[in-house]
Amino acid sequence: MNATAAIDETLGRYRHEAVFYPGTKAFVAATMPFIRGAVAAGEPILVAVSGEKIDILRRALGSTAERVDFADMAEIGRNPGLIIASWRTFVSDHAGSGRQVRGLGEPIDAERSPAELSECQLHESFLNLAFAGETAFWLVCPYDTQSLSAAVIDAAERSHPWVSDGVAARRSKRFKRIDSSRPFERRLPAPPDSAVEMAFVAESIGQVREFVIDEARRAGLCTERSGEISLAVSELATNSIHHGGGVGTLRTWTEDGSFVAEVTDHGEIKAALVGRLPPSTDLESGRGLWIVNQLCDVVQIQSSSAHGTAVRVHMRL
């Protein structure tokens, strides 16, 4: 299918597309037609990539760069769980204009840790739940085939309904929509044997906070960051008390340059986008995980009816 036919088929609807390019030099050639197409059509576009690539694109666009919104992915995507909220806000800000809204976002790069990469891949799948089919939003996600592994490219084929080389687009034959009724039914890597552990109940939430601060400082986190992850873990522990059977277990350790804390309980989380979007002002549900995502660098969830829930948060040292 040529690019024009592919565009016509999904015009005015939600379209999630991966574009593959080999190396930094090819990045501009693969993405510029999409960006220039938005500028020429007078369509709003947000480009969320690294600061270095923002500079490259600005130079390539010249004076038309002022008609493009840019965001540094290192900021809006430092925690992959925050990215969907940024896209939703941009789309909402331009809703009702009668124009297609475009986005170009590159959350996955070779510098991501294994935990970050896993959550970026989950984020890409959740994007297909975050926007209704009738939403006039065309989102393109660049993938560097030169620096990323074959497994990452394979995952992109499975999380994007459309794939492209920047010239011709096609439907991905490997695309698979995530099961929205069991979004976190997966197995996270087991905590290391060196993990420090404590059980908690409602009366010991204060001890949980003190425990996390002590372990975080011992791992090398500064006072401010130790306080932030302590607050995040106390939110998780409170959720366990209210929704996870009234008891829980906390474990902490270090890995890949981060301090990690995990809270496990007997509850189950079924809402895929919980914590990724601001909770309604009249509802408490989801507020705790929203706060956790704001505070931490990575948030991972494993949850099922058979094994309960584990929420694992990472804070870079």
Q: pLDDT digit string (tens) for 57-90?
A: 999 999 999 999 999 999 999 999 999 999 999 9
Residues 10 and 129 occupy one common structural domain? yes
- Kindly report, residue by residue over 102-159, the tens digit of the pLDDT: 999 999 999 999 999 999 999 999 999 999 888 899 999 999 999 999 999 999 999 9
**Single-letter residue type at 61:** L
- For residues 101 and 233, state if they share a domain: no
**Predicted confidence (pLDDT) at residue 283 exceeds the cutoff of 70:** no
Task: Give domain status of residue 13, yes or no.
Answer: yes
CA–CA gap between residue 207 and residue 221 (Å, rounded): 19
Beta strands in 195-246 (DSSP E): 196-201
The answer on 226 and 162 residing in a single domain is no
Residues 167 and 224 in one domain: no
> Are residues 232 and 134 both part of a single domain?
no
Instruction: Flag whether 181 is in a domain.
Output: no
Our count of domains for the chain comes to 2
Is residue 238 classed exposed, middle or buried when 0-12, 13-18 and 19+ CB atoms within 10 A define those classes? middle
> How many C-beta atoms surround the C-beta of residue 220 within 10 A?
12
Instruction: Specify the pTM.
Output: 0.93
Tokens of 130: 């975050």
Tell me: do 148 and 236 sit in the same domain: no
189 occurs within a structural domain: no
218 and 149 fall within a common domain: no
Look at the block and give the residue holding tokens 């908690």: 200
CATH code assigned at 284: 3.30.565.10
CB atoms within 10 A of CB 115: 21
Q: Is residue 268 part of a domain?
A: yes
Residue 118 in any domain: the answer is: yes
Instruction: Decide if 69 is inside a domain.
Output: yes
Interhelix angle 223-243/205-219, rounded to 10 degrees, is 140
Both 217 and 166 in one domain: the answer is no
Q: What is the sign of the dihedral through the CA atoms of 268, 274, 275 and 281?
A: negative
**With bands split at pLDDT 50, 70 and 90, how would you rate the model's confidence at 2?**
very low
Q: What pLDDT, on a 0 to 100 scale, did the predictor assign at position 1? A: 34
What value does the mean pLDDT of the chain take? 93
- 183 in a structural domain: no
**Which uninterrupted H or E stretch holds 308?**
strand 308-316
pLDDT of 11 = 63
DSSP string for 106-160 = ----TTS-HHHHHHHHHHHHHHHHHS-TTS-EEEEEEEETTTS-HHHHHHHHHH-
* 284 band by pLDDT with thresholds 50, 70 and 90: low
Tokens read off for 199 = 């059980």
| Phi, psi dihedrals of residue 106, rounded to the nearest 5° | -120, 85
Q: Which of 171, 187, 206 is the last residue of a domain?
A: 171
Note the residue count of the chain: 317
Question: In this structure, are 127 and 239 located in the same domain?
Answer: no
The residue segments making up the domain with residue 271 are 196-316
Q: Is residue 178 domain-resident?
A: no
Claim to verify: residue 75 and residue 120 sit in the same structural domain: yes
Same domain, 24 and 148: yes
In degrees and rounded to multiples of 5, residue 253 shows phi and psi of -165, 180
| CATH code for the domain of 65 | 3.40.50.300
Give yes or no for a contact between 17 and 138, defined as CB atoms under 8 angstroms apart: yes
38 plus 127 within the same structural domain: yes
What does R_g of the chain's alpha carbons equal in angstroms?
21
* Percent share of the chain, pLDDT over 70: 95
Residue type, 7: I
